[in-house]
Amino acid sequence: MKLVIGANGFLGSHVVRRLVADGEHVRVLTRKTSDTRPIDKIPATDGQIERVTGDLFDQQSLDAAMRGVDDVFHCAVDTRAWLIDPAPLFRANVDGLRNVLDAAAAADLGSFVFASTIGTIGNHDRVVAETDEFNWGDVATDYIKSRVAAENLALGYARDGKVPVRAMCVANTYGPYDWKPTNHGIFVKGPALGRFPFRTRGMATESVAIDDAALAMTLAAERARNGERYIVSERFLDLGELIKTAALAAGQRPPRLVLPRPAMYTLGAGGSALAKITGKPQALNIDTVRLMHYMSPMSHAKAETELDWHPRPVLDAVADAARFWTARRTARV
C-alpha cells in the first residue's frame, strides 16, 4: 500500500495517477474541505484508491493513515509565496511536516519520498547540483525559507535513522489537470485562453513536465538513497518561450508586448506597494518576481544516473497544459 499526502494537489494527484497506472493500491489523505477534482476522475479499478480524511495537525488521523503502508509520498505544501504574514507557510510546511514525520517514525516504512523544491539548492554563476547548499537566505522569500527549513527537518529525520527520507527538489511543473492553477501555471492558462497581456525577457527557471516529476517520485521510492537530495528538472526554461508555446498550442496569438526584467520588477514593486497600502496580499510582488529568475541552471544528472529517470521536453507538457485549458473552455460552452 502506498500513501500519498496532499493527493489533491497538482503533484500529489499525478503521483496517485502514476501509482495507479503501475497497478499499485493507493491510500490518499485529504482534508474535509479539499478540492478533490484532481483525483476524482483518475482511471482506477474498484478499491485501488482508498480515500481517508485527515489533517496534518490531527495526529490520530496521521497514525491511522500510516498503518499497513510501505511507502509514503509527502506532497502537501502551502505555496502561497505572496503572503504578507509568513506564519501559515511555516505552520503547514514545517510544523505539519514534523507531525507527519513523527507518525512515519512510528511506522515500518520502506521509503518516505518528500516533495521539496529546487529553491533549496544553492545559487552560483554556474550550473549547480545537489551538493550546492542553500546560500541565498538574504534575498529568499519567506516561502523559500519555509521550504528550506522543511527539507532540513526531513533530512534530519533520515540522518537520525528515524525515517527513510529521500528529498526530491522539484522544479516548476507543467502539464494537464492543473485545476487551480498553480502559481506558475497561470503563465500557461492565461496565454492559452487569450487573456495574458505580455511576454517576458530575461526571466527563466528550471522546469519539468508534471508526469515526469511524478515518475521521479515513484522511482525514488524504489531506487533513491536515504538522506539524499535529487534535482527533478528537465531544463532551464525561459518564461517568454513558455508563454509563446502555450498561446500557439491553444491556437492563440502570442502577446505582442514583451516586458524585460526591469519592467517586471516595476510591476512587482507596484504589487508590493499595493499590499502595504491595502493589507491584502498581491500575487505579483517583488518577491514573486525574484523567484521567476533568481535561481541558477541545474543539473539533473544524479536523478538520471541513480533513478534511471529521463524526462521528456517540458515544452511538450506546456502544450498539453494549454490544450487542457482550451478543452475545459470548450466543455463549458
Q: Residue 332 pLDDT more than 70?
A: no
CATH of the domain at 141: 3.40.50.720
Given a contact cutoff of 8 angstroms between Cβ atoms, the answer to whether 215 and 232 are in contact is: no
- Domain contains 140: yes
- Domain contains 195: no
The rounded mean pLDDT for the chain is: 94
Residue type, 61: S
Residues belonging to the chain: 333
Tally of domains within the chain: 1
- Domain contains 289: no
Given a contact cutoff of 8 angstroms between Cβ atoms, the answer to whether 244 and 199 are in contact is: yes
Q: What percent of the chain has pLDDT over 90?
A: 83
- Domain contains 262: no
Distances (CA, A) of 213 to 152, 186, 244, 321: 21, 19, 23, 15
- Domain contains 194: no
| 208-229 residue pLDDT tens | 999 999 999 999 999 999 999 9
- Cis omega (within 30 of 0) on the bond before 181? yes
Cβ atoms within 10 Å, residue 19: 25
Q: Is the dihedral of CA 98, 138, 172, 220 positive or negative?
A: negative
| 110-157 residue pLDDT tens | 999 999 999 999 999 999 999 999 999 999 999 999 999 999 999 999
Higher pLDDT, 280 or 100: 100
Among 230, 284, 239, 10, smallest CA distance to 120 is for 230
Mean pLDDT computed over 86-115? 97
| Structural domain boundaries enclosing 154 | 2-180+207-234+297-312
Give the pairing of strands 165-170 and 111-117: parallel
- Domain contains 144: yes
Q: Residue 252 pLDDT more than 50?
A: yes
pLDDT band at 333 (very low <50, low <70, confident <90, very high): very low
- Confidence at residue 331, expressed as pLDDT on a 0 to 100 scale: 65
- Domain contains 187: no
Cβ atoms within 10 Å, residue 245: 24
Distance CA 5, CA 148 (A): 19
- Domain contains 326: no
52: β partners: 29
